[in-house]
Amino acid sequence: MAMHCDRLKILKVVDGEKVSQTDFVIRETEVVIRIDGKLHRRLTCLAEHLEELALGYLFDEGIVSPDDVDIEVDCQTISVSRKRKTQIRKPAVIGSDLNVISSQILAWADELNTSCPLHIKTGGTHIVGIVHGDVMFFVEDISRHCAIDKAIGIALRNGYEMSDCIIVTSCRQTISAMKKEIMAGFPIVVS
């Protein structure tokens, strides 16, 4: 966590008065995704889970299947080599028998609020969790889209089928976030 935030001197206005103090501020990084040597995208994010970021991004954008790529990370450059030059397509309908009850949603919200050290320390991150059976994990990032991509990438690395998962987020559900979650195949989104 220490590598993702800095303690800085800030000027805060409290009741109209300027107060000098120190505070923790998130450190962001610009990363580049290259596909087959060509620049594909620049993203601003936290410099962790970069391989999973690329995997989730490529999957939920419908660019590649997780088995069709090799990913290498060198500093802030993510190099993706496609084994095949095909795009994946997702069905418009997500088939799933998953159900949730309100007590589960409230428990996930409590877990989300207490399992995110950077957000607690800085207030500067979005949190995304994936629920798969009894397993739940969280990812934090300054970007809601990167947090979603990273969580999906981690789930894919663990062999999870998204139609068997629920995504839980601290962030507002924009059209672009919902498109990612639908393309990934989540039957339930909790925000």
Strands (E), the chain: 5-14, 17-26, 29-35, 38-45, 69-74, 77-82, 126-132, 135-141, 166-169, 188-190
Pairing, β 126-132 against β 135-141: antiparallel
Instruction: Look up tokens 């601290």; give the residue.
Output: 170
pLDDT tens for 163-173 read: 999 999 998 89
What is the token pair recorded at 126? 């979005």
Return the pLDDT at 90: 67
Strand residue runs (E) in 36-176: 38-45, 69-74, 77-82, 126-132, 135-141, 166-169
H or E stretch covering 34: strand 29-35
Rounded CA separation 128/150 (Å): 9
Angle at 64 between CA 152 and CA 40, to 5 degrees: 90
Q: Which residues of the chain have pLDDT under 50?
A: 1-2
62: three-class secondary structure by DSSP: coil
| Residue whose structure tokens are 């998130």 | 26
How far apart CA 133 and CA 160 sit, in angstroms, is 10
What amino acid is encoded at 128 in this protein?
Answer: V
Tokens of 109: 């919200």
- In three-state secondary structure terms, 84 is coil
Helices (H) and strands (E) in the chain, counts: 5, 10
Cβ neighbours of 50 (radius 10 Å): 24
